[in-house]
Amino acid sequence: MERKAHYWRHHRPYRLSDYSDLRHYLASSSIGLCRHHPDQFVNVREVKPVHVFTHQYKAGDTHRIVLMSDLHWDNPKCNRDLLKRDLEYAAHNGLNILINGDLFCAMQGRYDGRRMKSDIRPEHNTSTYLDDLVGTAVEWFAPYMDNIALVGYGNHETSILKNCETDILARFVRGMNDQGGNIVLGGYGGWVVWSFRMPSGNAVSYRMKYFHGSGGGGVVTRGVISAQRMLAQVHGQSCAWQGHVHESWSMVNVVESLNNNHTPILREVLQIRTPCYKEEYGDGTKGWHVMRGAPPKPLGAYILELNLGSRKVNARAYPLNI
Binding site for Fe ion (CB under 5 A): 70, 102
- State the minimum distance, in angstroms, from the CB of residue 272 to Fe ion: 15
Work out the angle at residue 142's Cα, subtended by the Cα atoms of residues 85 and 27, and round it to the nearest 5 degrees.
Answer: 130
- State the minimum distance, in angstroms, from the CB of residue 11 to Fe ion: 31
- State the minimum distance, in angstroms, from the CB of residue 213 to Fe ion: 8
Residue ranges of the alpha helices (H) in 36-191?
80-92, 129-141, 155-164, 168-178
State the burial class of residue 161 (Cβ atoms within 10 Å of its Cβ: 0-12, 13-18, 19+).
Answer: middle
Residue placing its CB nearer to Fe ion in the complex, 102 or 139: 102
Which DSSP helix (H) or strand (E) runs through 299?
A: none
Residue placing its CB nearer to Fe ion in the complex, 146 or 279: 279
Residue placing its CB nearer to Fe ion in the complex, 70 or 74: 70
Taking alpha carbons only, the member of 241, 73, 103 closest to residue 170 is 103
Residue placing its CB nearer to Fe ion in the complex, 59 or 161: 161
C-alpha distances out from residue 320 to 39, 162, 273, 308, Å: 43, 34, 13, 20
Residue placing its CB nearer to Fe ion in the complex, 70 or 167: 70
Residue placing its CB nearer to Fe ion in the complex, 57 or 153: 153
Q: CB within 8 A of 33, min separation 6: which ones?
A: 40, 41, 42
Q: Answer yes or no: are the C-beta atoms of 235 and 93 closer than 8 Å.
A: no
Count of CA atoms in the C-beta half-sphere (13 A) of 178: 25
CA atoms of 244 and 318, how far apart (whole Å): 18
Q: Answer yes or no: are the C-beta atoms of 206 and 239 closer than 8 Å.
A: yes
Residue placing its CB nearer to Fe ion in the complex, 143 or 243: 243
Count of CA atoms in the C-beta half-sphere (13 A) of 106: 29
- State the minimum distance, in angstroms, from the CB of residue 156 to Fe ion: 6
Question: N- to C-terminal Cα distance for the chain?
Answer: 21
Q: Where are the beta strands (DSSP E) in 156-248?
A: 184-185, 189-197, 203-211, 239-242
- State the minimum distance, in angstroms, from the CB of residue 154 to Fe ion: 6
- State the minimum distance, in angstroms, from the CB of residue 105 to Fe ion: 8
Residue placing its CB nearer to Fe ion in the complex, 102 or 279: 102
- State the minimum distance, in angstroms, from the CB of residue 276 to Fe ion: 6
Work out the angle at residue 290's Cα, subtended by the Cα atoms of residues 284 and 295, and round it to the nearest 5 degrees.
Answer: 85
- State the minimum distance, in angstroms, from the CB of residue 78 to Fe ion: 11
